[in-house]
Chain A
Amino acid sequence: MNNVFALRKYIIAGIFSIACIAFVFRLFYMQVIDDQYKLDASNETFRHITQYPPRGCIKDRNGKLLVTNEAAYDLMVIPNQVKDFDTNSFCSDLGITKADFNNGIRKAVQLNTASHASVFMKEVTPEIYAAFEEKMYKYHGFYSEVRTVRRYPMKIAPHLLGYLGEVSKELCERNPKYREGDYIGMSGIEESYEEALGGKKGVKITVVDAMNREVGDYKNGKYDTLPNPGENLTSTLDATLQAYGEKLMQNKAGSIVAIEPATGEVLALVSSPEYDPNLLVGNIRARNYSSLVLDTLDIPLFNRALMAQYPPGSTFKPIEALIGQQEGVLNEHTVYYCGGSYPGGKPKCDAKHGSLDLEPAIAKSCNTYFSYVFMSIMGNRKYATMDDALTSWRRYVNGFGLGTRLDIDLPSALRGNVPTVEHYDRVFGRSHWRPFTIISLGIGQGELEVTPLQLANEASIIANRGYYFMPHVIKSIGDKNEVQKKYTTRHYAPVDAKYFDIVVQGMSDVVSDGTAAASKIPGVTMCGKTGTAQNPNGRDNSLFIAFAPMDHPKIAVCVVIERGGWGAEWAAPIASLMIEKYLNDTIKRTDIETRILDGNTIHYLEEEKLQPKHYTQHTAHKK
């Protein structure tokens, strides 16, 4: 019939064959030769999920917990999986409004598209979460991720411990270890021990489908890495002492630093005004942080113990006495006459002390006497020029840890200021200044500036009769019971031990019958030195350095009360209470304690700040 065309079956069958063989060739190319698709596939289906390690906890020297972790739950949402459910009950469970809900979803979509997970609500507290979790199955598209937030059971030492914050974009780019949204230590121990506390992140590989739903673990977790929890730290802090110090400092601006002289371990580090560290965790952090930052009157986030720089005033005199002796221009029998001021009327003294030698000069804090000492150091024949004398003096002062940054294991300790020859040349002009021009340095005034930490360290040096261990706040990391090597090396002051005895004796007199006689502790020989330092902004700062007992001292303390007036008024009694608390554990002098607890010096600051124009004029007449 159609035989003419019967041969066409070969052509048709041929076309079928050619097409099918082409498909087979293409398959061979795609599946066997080309590797590109295999690589693509492994990226697409496996999700590498970061496992956050719990951060290390921090304990005090007696094992009391200062910082611990608490579970918080990040509520995650995948918008395109959110199915119809009762949004009213959802919102009331979480304590949010319907507008919050809609906003949250919209933000999530904008941020990460509708098919990817975004944080819907950060760090939901366990209380809210417990109720919410039971109903979670109803809320399609929502799930939770556990993370930990810091908890401070004793609510103390906020400045020392520091707080966490989200890692900056720049750091993320510099260090691949971090990803945006990670939390790292932003201040205090949290910052300086970030490496140890932070631990190591782990990775969990899960199989994910195209809708971003986790389907299961990849190969039953064979390739997962577990997170390494952060190391626990043991602090040198004595939590009881710290808490007591913070209590004493209420309604006062200033700080307390207490150091164990034999080791350099920081026993207490109080900066006031302070804040409850629990305010800066979890989802309340942002709100509280900005209100703390905005409190420019009290500047509660400012760590005064390390960063506030004050003229040391008379607390500098022991150093002056030590330098004089070492330089051979002063000994315990050197006598000067005090007629109420150094000849020429400046600097003034608090009284007419008459003729006196070194020990009573320290006990009575005689400005005239120490002005003579300073002038004799400057006029030392050893030095060809005044420049050399000042430079040498400066080197001595640096040797006591002043004007240099102490290598404490906390960030942002400041170095203070010990003026240089160049500084005075700049201010007065070359050879337009003489020792008398800068005589107030001798009594711890003028351009001299120190931090409370440096003063506490100075007390520690005198307590040790000539050496110190670098102050530090962490005793050990993890289970290893060893301190970093730099904290076990002795640093020697540039003054021989033999010259310390007379200074220590003088400081003991300060407490027994000198300027701080009111702060005596029955049964304890405390050595101390008051300081009443001029404050260019207002009322004098009240300072006190001390250590006790006199022999084999266990604690060295520095107290600074801004605008506290006389050193003996606030700083000395506070320091004595700290020492009594640490050595005796109970306070017998309850009258002094009550006065301090009820006392308020912060109102001086508030008054000044409220009338800023007046105080600058006032200071001109101040002593």
Chain B
Amino acid sequence: MNDRRSSIVPYVDWFTIGVYFFLVMVGWFNIYSAVYNPAHPALLDFSQQYGKQFIWLTTAFVMAFLIMLTEASFFSVFAYALYGAVVFSLLAVRFVGKDIAGSHSWFRFGSVGIQPAELGAFAINLGLAKYLSNENIKMSKGTVRLRAIALIVIPILFILLENETGVAITYVSFIFVMYREGLSGNILLVGFLTIVLFILALVGSKLVLSCVLLGIALIAYFLFTRRKRRDLTLVGGALAFGLLIVWGTDFAYKHLEPHQRKRIDVFLGSNVNKNKEGYNLNQAEIAIGSGGAFGKGYLQGTQTKLNYVPAHATDFIFCTLCEEWGFIGAAFIILLYLVLLVRIVFLAERQRSPFSRIYGYGVASIFFIHIAVNVGMTQGLIPVIGIPLPFMSYGGSSLWSFTLLLFIFLRLDANRMQILK
């Protein structure tokens, strides 16, 4: 036991741990600035969010350390069991959970709340990695695709029942994992085009859009195809799908929850009152913009600190960073996130075990979608979706679940030499 533990130390990726540690500490100091309360100036004042965050991050570090002590094979052996446990708790929380802010998704243990939805990504990642790392799994097989998607969709359904739409949306990112494992690139492309069409349909005239689609279909059919009969069904099917999205958008839009519809309105900038439904986004943009190139300086931000920006310690924490550190600071953090993502992809690719590789891609994808959605929404590029910025947003659950995801991967990575190819 002792031998093996000491033997993994050289194989641990200290670079990633360094980036992780840096981001967590920046996040903590940033929270201190965001909710800075002159009456409680101590960083470790546990009545304040920055004091509490210190508790969350120390426990996260302890958890990370414990994960590194765990046998690497534990995670692949118990993957399905862990998956099942989380799915069960997602179901159970419906009945015993506490109702917080409209979503029924928290277990309460004394003063500590646990949101099983935060663990959903971890569970899906384990389950998916376990399933796809089986011998003779080919993505080109329909049943494989179906089972993989089922692994993802089952937790999504439970989470949607809890009204945690934002969390559910992040699971879409597993499409990257499936793509890496052989899912057709066309599906990625179709997904992307669907989103583009959806937005165009919301903004533009549906009639014009239909004509344009028809035009593209005709041009594609007559200019770029040879085997006419087969391509006719392909192009025709694509056209029908496109028209369905264009005309179905309106229907879907009208059947959204009012607050979701408002968020889309705000995003599109259509008849929005800056002091009402557009308030969050407008304030967030003002906070970011007012930071300028070099920022206002640490603890000098006015927009975020003065509560103009809502949820400025949690979902909108990025605004404080932008306001106080300016473009220089914020761009550095975004690029640091990119470095982390690319590093994880690199680490995943060097795994000998498919389980470790797939798990790694899952970690990267989950991180990516959180970063992209969170940063994108504060910048007004994406509708407001309440999900945390990894390692920086205030809150124990999210920090723990991201730490859990990352360090299991780092543990697997440290073990890579033990795996026989």
Interface residue ranges, A against B (CB under 8 Å): 1-2, 4-6, 8-9, 11-13, 15-17, 19-20, 22-24, 26-28, 30-32, 34, 36-38, 40-41, 44-45, 207-211, 215
Contact = CB atoms under 8 A, between A and B. Distances in A.
Contacts, number: 123
A27 B327 contact: yes
B330 interface: yes
A398 B238 CA distance: 100
Given A16-B341, A27-B331, 20 more contacts: A1-B354, A5-B181, A9-B348, A9-B349, A11-B179, A16-B338, A20-B334, A20-B371, A23-B379, A23-B381, A27-B288, A30-B289, A30-B379, A37-B286, A38-B290, A40-B290, A41-B287, A41-B302, A209-B306, A210-B307
B366 to A, nearest CB: 12
A20 B370 CA distance: 12
B375 interface: yes
Contacts of A210: 283, 306-309
Interface string B301-331: 0110111110000000000001000110011
Interface in B330-372: 330-331, 334-335, 337-338, 341-342, 345, 348-349, 354, 357, 361, 364, 368, 371-372
B285 interface: yes
A26 B322 CA distance: 12
Interface in B2-23: none
Contacts of B379: 23, 26-27, 30
A36 B274 CA distance: 14
Contacts of B289: 30-31, 34, 36-38, 40-41
A45 to B, nearest CB: 4
Contacts of B180: 2, 5, 8-9, 12
B292 interface: yes
Contacts of A37: 285-286, 288-290
Contacts of A16: 338, 341-342, 345, 364, 368
12 contacts: A5-B180, A5-B181, A13-B341, A16-B341, A17-B342, A23-B376, A24-B331, A24-B335, A28-B331, A31-B292, A37-B285, A45-B303
A40 B179 contact: no
Contacts of B327: 27-28, 31-32
Contacts of B368: 16, 19
Contacts of B348: 9
B345 A12 contact: yes
B293 interface: yes
Contacts of A30: 285, 288-289, 379
B221 interface: no
Main secondary structure of the interface of A (DSSP, over half): helix
A296 B349 CA distance: 98
B182 A2 contact: yes
B345 A9 contact: yes
A22 B179 CA distance: 23
B283 A31 contact: no
Nearest to B305: A209
B176 interface: yes
A27 B334 CA distance: 10
Which 7 pairs across A and B sit closest by C-beta, in order of nearness? A37-B289, A209-B306, A41-B290, A210-B307, A210-B308, A20-B338, A31-B327
A12 B306 contact: no
A502 to B, nearest CB: 82
Contacts of A23: 334, 372, 375-376, 379, 381
B286 A44 contact: yes
Interface in B241-287: 283, 285-287
B388 interface: no
A17 B346 CA distance: 14
B291 interface: yes
A24 B293 CA distance: 12
Nearest to B310: A210
B306 A208 contact: yes
A13 B345 contact: yes
A40 B286 contact: yes
Contact of B335 (A8, A15, A20): A20
B400 to A, nearest CB: 24
Contacts of A31: 288-289, 291-293, 322, 326-327, 330
Contact of B303 (A8, A19, A44): A44
B344 to A, nearest CB: 10
A5 B177 CA distance: 11
A215 B306 contact: yes
Most B-side CB within 10 Å, residue of A11, A13, A28, A30: A30
Nearest to B365: A12
B35 to A, nearest CB: 12
Contacts of A22: 381
A4 B185 CA distance: 13
A230 to B, nearest CB: 35
Contact of A2 (B181, B292, B306, B331): B181
